[in-house]
Structure 1
Amino acid sequence: MLEALSGVVDTGGLIWLTLGVVAAGLVRGFAGFGSGMIIMPVASAVLPPVAAVTFMMMAELVGPLPNLPAAWRDGAPRDVGRLMIGCALAVPVGILCLSHMDTTVFGWVVSTSVAILLVLLMSGWRYKGVLTPKLTVGTGALGGFMGGFAGVPGPPVIMLYMSSKLPISVIRANFLLYLLAFDVVMVAVFFMLDLFVWKIALLGLLAGVPNLLANMVGARLFDPDAEVLFRRVAYLVIAASAILGLPIWS
């Protein structure tokens, strides 16, 4: 443990990682999503792909916990369960691709994924149909693959819900439940595939403390009646994460 802790202290980019998880916690607490889109560009700039995902999922496993009871009350846990059926089936496939990915390609995948999401959302397109079980499971599967492959499980699910007619309080709660459940699945799969980078996992747990505090602050800033503000913050987060994640900065 002492040897691992020493390795954590010596990890390059520690200050940037810490600032990233604080910013991510504020956004996650407010919007219910977006933390991975902030953490992954920062983490992928200073860590190899598998280590970057390890850091993100361990930090996010701790941070959102204070907001879990409210999310369970306001959200639709049954829909989130359907998302997770598809997600759990697709995550291992994405992780296998991740473990063989070049670092530069990894950065481009992350940024391109979130940029496409932004363009679709800002185009004004809205899904007017019913969120059927098949559609929900399929969206979860796509999110699971992207989560395992690029560390960003949110884009397909965010696209589905933010283009729907659901109240933003339900959308936010579902995001929070889905992403927390995704992190649990990722931890289990990483254990089974022996992909854990233990030094980075410890660093992620330590980073979960400021992430947790920032989540609590962000949750207090959320107003269920301020839909315009909610969407503007979401668009800003997505745009910033796409730009910061470009490999041209490394």
Structure 2
Amino acid sequence: MLQLAIAVLIVFIASIVRGFSGFGLSLLAITGLSLIYAPADIVPSIFMLELVASINLLPSIWKDIHWRSLAPLTLGCLIATPLGVWCLAHISPAPMQLALAIFVLVSTAILGWGFSLKNIPGIAGSTAVGAACGLSNGAFGIAGPPLILFYFSSPAGAAAGRASIVAFFLATDTIGLANQYHEGLLNWDVVMRAAFYLPAMLFGVWTGARSFKGVSEEKFRKVVLILLAIMAVIIGVKAVLALNV
């Protein structure tokens, strides 16, 4: 019972971040829940929650979406997602958790260093970023870091970046769920777990969205980066210990 309560709390906190910034639900929820469950047991459920979260936020961000960049990003994601899902379905939990920890730490460091671009990349660059999103989304259930780097380091602006990330997640999570179904990862346990987390997710997204205009985005993102780094270290240590058993 305590384990379930902790899981719901993790989803709620991750959903507040998602509602505020447009990203972070998968990254925070899967990072936190991986301390309790194997990635293959939680990723499909979080994908379902991400899909609902994007649909819930879509009406409020529609006018700010940067549509021109979404097509090549989605194409790259479509190409690379099956490989990521295959990794999720066929690689044991400990290596997956270690890979997740390294991925989160590297992404957090890059974001923390303030990486920036002068222009939004063209078709080839955008497709490559989309492929990175698809690979990590399929394998870890986390498409965020490459996409966050893409938009928030570009001249698109915070509002356009947040809106475009939400729209992209709607596409990537649909693609990811289709591939997970093909790999046999979707079942009634997954659906029931997602339904159990759903109220916490909806309330968290609503809370985060209400605070979007009232809190300094820079300060909030710094807190998120610190939290991600701590979680990644914990997961990495846990994975290394499991590999040595």
- Structures share fold, TM-score greater than 0.5: yes
* Residues 248, 192 of structure 1: alpha-carbon distance in 2 compared, 3 angstrom cutoff: closer
Contact 1:40 1:151 in 2 (8 A): yes
Identical-residue share of aligned pairs (%): 28
Question: Does residue 137 of structure 1 match 2:130?
Answer: no
Contact 2:65 2:161 in 1 (8 A): yes
Counting only pairs closer than 5 Å after superposition, residues 233-248 of structure 1 correspond to structure 2 as 233-248=223-238
Question: Does residue 78 of structure 1 match 2:68?
Answer: yes
Q: 83, 87, 95: which is aligned to 1:97?
A: 87
Contact 2:50 2:173 in 1 (8 A): yes
SS at match of 2:176: helix
Counterparts of 2:43 and 2:194, CA distance in 1:
10
Question: Does residue 88 of structure 1 match 2:78?
Answer: yes
TM-score under structure 1 normalisation?
A: 0.86
The match for 1:53 is: 43
Counterparts of 1:186 and 1:239, CA distance in 2:
25
1:63 Cα deviation after fit:
2.9
Q: 11, 24, 36: which is aligned to 2:14?
A: 24
Contact 2:58 2:167 in 1 (8 A): yes
Moved over 6 A (4+): none
Q: 226, 229, 246: which is aligned to 2:219?
A: 229
Contact 1:27 1:35 in 2 (8 A): yes
1:244 Cα deviation after fit:
4.6
Question: Does residue 147 of structure 1 match 2:126?
Answer: no
Question: Does residue 69 of structure 1 match 2:85?
Answer: no
Number of aligned positions between the proteins: 240
Task: Could you tell me which runs of 5 or more consecutive residues in structure 1 were left unpaired when the two chains were aligned.
Answer: 1-9
SS at match of 1:196: coil
Contact 2:77 2:172 in 1 (8 A): yes
Question: Does residue 172 of structure 1 match 2:162?
Answer: yes
The match for 1:187 is: 177
1:22 aligned partner, one-letter code: F
1:113 Cα deviation after fit:
0.7
Task: Could you tell me which runs of 5 or more consecutive residues in structure 2 were left unpaired when the two chains were aligned.
Answer: none
SS at match of 1:46: coil
1:138 aligned partner, one-letter code: A
TM-score under structure 2 normalisation?
A: 0.88
Q: 140, 147, 152: which is aligned to 1:162?
A: 152
- Deviations, residues 130-171 of structure 1 (Å, cap 9, x unaligned): 421221111011110011112211111112222212211111
Residue range with higher mean Cα deviation, 232-241 or 14-23: 232-241
Q: 106, 110, 126: which is aligned to 2:100?
A: 110
Residue range with higher mean Cα deviation, 208-217 or 43-52: 43-52
2:103 aligned partner, one-letter code: S
1:227 Cα deviation after fit:
4.7
The match for 2:201 is: 211
1:68 Cα deviation after fit:
0.9
1:233 Cα deviation after fit:
4.3
* Residues 152, 87 of structure 1: alpha-carbon distance in 2 compared, 3 angstrom cutoff: same
* Residues 24, 110 of structure 1: alpha-carbon distance in 2 compared, 3 angstrom cutoff: same
Counterparts of 2:68 and 2:198, CA distance in 1:
27
Contact 1:21 1:210 in 2 (8 A): yes
1:102 aligned partner, one-letter code: S
